[in-house]
Structures are given as C-alpha cells and as structure tokens.
Amino acid sequence: MREIVFDTETTGFKFSEGDRLVEIGCVELVNRVETGATFHAYFNPGRSMPKEAEAVHGLSDAFLADKPAFHTAIDDLLAFIGDSPLVAHNANFDFGFLNGELGACGRDAICLSRMVDTLAIARSRHPGAKHTLDALCVRFGIDRSRRVLHGALLDAQLLAQVYVELMGGRQIGFGLDATPTLVAEVVETVAPSRVRPPRQFSASAAELAVHAAFVGTLKDPLWGQSPT
C-alpha cells in the first residue's frame, strides 16, 4: 500500500482571494513505512509575501525571487504522487491550494476521495485534546526540535510519523484484525538470508597432547571413581 504524506506553505489562507502556494513537500510511505523517497520544491508565487505569512515559514520575496513558477513542476509532482492516497493535516486547506494551482494551469483537480485528513483522525481518536502537529508530536514522543519555522518537507516528515502512530504504530499487519497480505508484502521486501554449512573445529595433535597431559595431573577425577 503506497501513500503520500504532504504539506504546503502558502502566502495566506485562501487561493480564491489571490493567495498562492510557495512550497510543497511530499514523503512516500509503503505499508506505512517511509521509503526515503521525497519530493520538495519552492515556487515563485508571482505576488508579494505578506509579513504575517513570512513570519510563519520564513520564505521571503528575496528567497522566492529566483524560484520557478508552479506550472514548471507539475509533471514531476504528479508523477511522484501518482494515484496514491494523499495524507495531510487539515487536508482541505492543502487540497484547496494544490487543486487551485492545478486548475490555474488547466490541469484536472485531484479527486477528494484520495484525501486522508490526519486532523480529522486525531479528533476522532483523541477528542478534547490539542490536535496541532506540534501537540501530536509531543503526544507520540516525536522529535520536533528542528521545527523552528514551518517547512513543507520537514512538516511532511513529522506528519508521516504522526500518521503512523494515529493508525496504530509500526506493527501494521500484526493485529488480530489486520490484513494478512500486508504482512506478506513486508516480508517479501526482505532479502533472503544465505545458509552456511556448519564449521568443523577439530583439535590439532599438539592440542590433544596438551589436554592429555593436563588431565593426567588431576587427582581422583570424578569420571575415574567407581559408582556406589
């Protein structure tokens, strides 16, 4: 089972009001295990960056000035995410910007049936608790020390760990209600071990002579006594 965990950074809250996507980070999971494959890109939004947004993610007009426009990375992005489910925190926000940018480039929107919202999952699993990414990292003991500012790839990597914990941890396939095929898929990815023949460690003639001499010095050994 392949899934993509992703996060975005933007110039504001609403694509419909002129805000734009400026960063996207994607992390690949297979059977809820990170494969190490990622996609990460910055984009020039074609507009100024509000100070409030820059304070959140640190992406300034100067930094984004030489970055490409979103449409230049569409093919690479779509090839990476493929037809996999897309996992995001408060996913309606991220899907809104991603589909907004795709629509602006004349591309089809990504179907919302592929959306997995970790915020909704967290609310259902832990009602009444805090459900921010930071709060969930604390709940599950996930190291977030590098998260000084929001960053799409770092946040996606943290969210991938949170998502795994929300879905029951890394023991996928070992529960009583798990799907057996998932276990088989994991096992098949492990390289088979090589069987080595047993080794023979025979004592040399010199070693046997030393051993016999030592045994000859023993006084009244147990194996030399008659049974009573």
pLDDT by residue (tens digit) across 69-83? Answer: 999 999 999 999 999
Domain edges within the chain: 2-188
**pLDDT score for 175:** 44
In sequence order, what DSSP letters do the residues of 61-103 get, joined into one string?
HHHHTTSPPGGGGHHHHHHHHTT--EEETTHHHHHHHHHHHHH
Write down the pTM of the prediction: 0.72
CATH class of 2-188: alpha beta
Per-residue pLDDT band for 199 (boundaries 50, 70, 90) equals low
Active site residues: 150
For 94-99, what is the mean pLDDT? Answer: 97
β-partners of residue 88 are 117
- Section 88-100 average pLDDT: 97
Give the C-alpha distances (Å, rounded to integers) separating 50 from 99, 125, 153: 22, 35, 21
198, exposed or middle or buried, with CB in 10 Å at 0-12, 13-18, 19+? exposed
